[in-house]
Structure 1
Amino acid sequence: MAVTTLQADLLPADAPADAGRRNLLLLIQLRWFAVGGQLITIEVVRSVLGIALPLVPLLAAVLLLVAVNLLSLPLLRRRRDVTNRELTLALLLDVAVLAWQLHFTGGIANPFAPLFLLQVVLGAILLSQRAAWAVAVATLATLLAQSLWTKPLPLPAPYAADPLQLYLRGSFVCFALIAVLLLVFVTRTARNLTERDAALAQVRQRAAEDDHIVRMGLLASGAAHELGTPLASLAVLIGDWRRLPQLAAEEDLQEDLADMEAAVQRCKAIVSSILMAAGEARGTVTEFTSVRAFLQAIVAEWRSNATGRMPAELAFADHFGQPDVPIIADPALRQVIGNAIDNAVEVSPDWVGLTALRARGQLVLEVSDRGPGFDPAMLQSFGRPYHSTKGRAGGGVGLFLLVNVLRKMGGAASARNNPEGGATVRMEIPLVALAPTGHDLSVDG
């Protein structure tokens, strides 16, 4: 429909998916349909049926509907939501206009009087219970007034003798019109409400996840205070043992001590990563760097500690391109990227791949492995806390933190199984979220 296309062009492309706003747009479309139908009906009644109509009040009502629609479209461009009161006023306006037109065309004897049912049904779907009853009462009062004070419409000779036949034909057209409008507009309205409920459910889920992160941060903070001192003591003792002359010649023991020292440092890093992902970075100083230097530092750190984890090969493919982009190194992002690599190492100890590229102003990182891949249930619940196939308590927290850290930065995380085997975790981070204030990121390689 040309009218629908015009409205879509007038509305901003990034309009929020608000049910009230879209329902008002449906009412505007319904008015355009009513304007076209009324003009056609007036012309058919005058030219084909030969019935004289009061054109001035009828055309004035049509012009009022056109004016209201034209004024409503710029309002929808500026407004982000539509209240229940505004939808109620819009429906009451439609009731008043229909009542005005029926008053001059036979009142309740007009076969199109049942069109009031359309406003009642839409009110029941779109409005609150009190507002819906207000619309229903308004239509009943209008019909009562039509039966008491409206003058009958004079009919020409062919219809004056048997007005019932004309009424029945008009009633058939009215029924078909109501059926079509209810099918089209009520179905679309119900879809809008369903999408709104789904959006609200997603907001509630994110609120619950944010609350979960806060509680994790509090628990991690307490654990850090409790574990900080013993971990530091262990690190000092292991360092002293490695420097003892009587142990220096024991190569096997030195390797074991090195592994123990790496494990202690790893425990410290895990505690810090949980704190940073929860928004409580432990005294981390802001570091200005670039995308390429940031990624190379992560790879170098992982490779330097790899001997304390597993003998896996980390293959880094840098496709970010030129120019490099200055950023502020985010400790939480560094940790969750490391966690994604660690998860891949657990299922693919021989090889893990890290690929970096730039797409649509985003840093895209892909961590690939040659493991068994994710099962379908894991892909469906990717990023939910404690959803894991590792079979141990607390599994899935790393992916949960990854998803939420990226989401807070305006990015996203996803996972897929590769056709050739293994799986890939994809991270998308907007470069603008990492850039220093005032830096231009318009160049996209």
Structure 2
Amino acid sequence: MANSEIGLTSEYQRSNWIRLRTMILLRWFAIIGQLTAITVAQKLYNLQLELGLCYLAVGVSVIGNLVAIFIFPENKRLSETENFLMVMFDLLQLCFLLYLTGGLHNPFSLLVLAPVTVSASVLSLRSTLTLGLTAFLLVSGMVFYHLPLRTEMGFILRIPDLFVYGQWTAITIALVFISVYTRRITREMNSMSDALAATQMALARAQKLNDLGGVVAAAAHELGTPLATIKLASSELADDLDDRPDLQEDALLIREQADRCRDILRSMGRAGKDDLHMRYAPLVEVIREAAEPHQDRGKDIVLEEGPGPGGEFNQPQILRRPEVIHGLRNLVQNAVDFAASTVWIETIWTDDVISIRIIDDGRGFPQHLLGRIGDPFMRRRRSDADRKARPEYEGMGLGLFIAKTLLERSGAELSFANASDPFTAGHPSGERRGAVVEVVWPRSKIVADVAQAGGGLGENQPIEA
């Protein structure tokens, strides 16, 4: 699925996450509150209410809850349409009660905001707009049309018209503001949740690939002895069967197939081995492994390495972590996507830190997005010119978020900048003028202790199930 479809699909999937039992429970709370308010208004304040119609409105909610409890299973989750109808029913029922009890003269009229807020949290934009417009129309109608609140003596309880219109204005503004605020916050949280899930999936996939390589390497090691025995025995049989050409041919075939099995296991084992060689590697080799998938995409990737001030001449051996490789790979991919012709990867190490800078000769980061780089799903719709310039790119900021999250988990600090002003013209292709991403680790976070001490590799570690 393309990234552009993730947000829409997730939105509709989340509307199916709400259980019917949750909505029923919330409605029971509303029913209890409504019955309490009606009873207190009648018994304590002696207000003359249309009790028959009020209890009818509450009774409809009770019947709806009972029907839902006895007909639908406890684990039923509501679809987008069912959720919308449930919230719309609650809105209409509440507004009918407010119509019977003074309209906007009733202080409980603020509860109209609740159904719209729920809609903004879990439903689609279309459903939220429909509910918001319905609530606005009903609240506007109650300014002029409602049954007044009367005391036992027949006096009408009402607030001045100025306050009524102020109440209407406040509710209208709140409908818009709270809906936008709730929806914005919810979408931010959902986007972060989706991106974190994608990060975990990417890391788990890299780890599984690494583990699979280790299993294959272990299998190749364990099968090496029996395959060598088979090859030796078949060779001796072939030598002893010079007078039996038909049987000699079978013995040679066995030896050939044993060699073939050895070659297959050896090639499969190249993906990874569960030995100390694969737990850490030279810094440049790890970077080269991260950049390897993007070497043949039509852009030059230039690796430059060297010690910084006070750094030792030999490059350090760093931990070969899946999150480091995958995070660097995403950064290289982003640079290759935007580069005109060349990407430079500069590596510097000192006694305290290890730094990697990835620079391209593209247009650089947009200035207004520099402070937001690393947030998931931050990209706007692509222009036609951008599609023509980079037809293969469909990013929404998720790749950079994954890279930033993975590398920060390994102890790195990331910074994003431009090598030059992206609006300055006249820079030829092949010049370091585009985006700059710098990744800096404290040496203690990334350098393997065994490699740093210069100790031996020791025995291979057994693979645990």
TM-score between the two structures when normalised by the length of structure 2 = 0.38
Higher RCO, Cα 8 Å, sep 6+: 2
